[in-house]
Amino acid sequence: QKIQVWDAAGKLVQESNAPEFIWLPERKGVYLVTVTTNKGKMVEKVVRE
């Protein structure tokens, strides 16, 4: 399993193989969280206010 966090500019800000925890940057903005497993891939938009 792999989790990636991307900022609105398309820059990878975090990548983790530990799915129990994800870290988002403290600054406000829109982020895309990508979760990849052996069953497929999921992308969710997260807004930090």
Q: Average pLDDT per run of 10 along the chain, which is 49 residues long?
A: 94 86 84 94 95
Rounded Cα–Cα distance for residues 32 and 26 (Å) = 15
The confidence score (pLDDT) of residue 28 equals 92
Sign of the alpha-carbon torsion through 12, 35, 2, 38: negative
The confidence score (pLDDT) of residue 19 equals 67
The confidence score (pLDDT) of residue 1 equals 87
pTM value is 0.83
| Number of folded domains that form the chain | 1
Rounded Cα–Cα distance for residues 31 and 13 (Å) = 9
The confidence score (pLDDT) of residue 36 equals 94
- Which range of residues forms the domain containing residue 29? 2-48
Give the residue among 36, 32, 35, 29 at the shortest CA–CA distance from 12. 32
Distances (CA, A) of 15 to 4, 9, 18: 4, 16, 9
Give the DSSP letter of residue 26: S
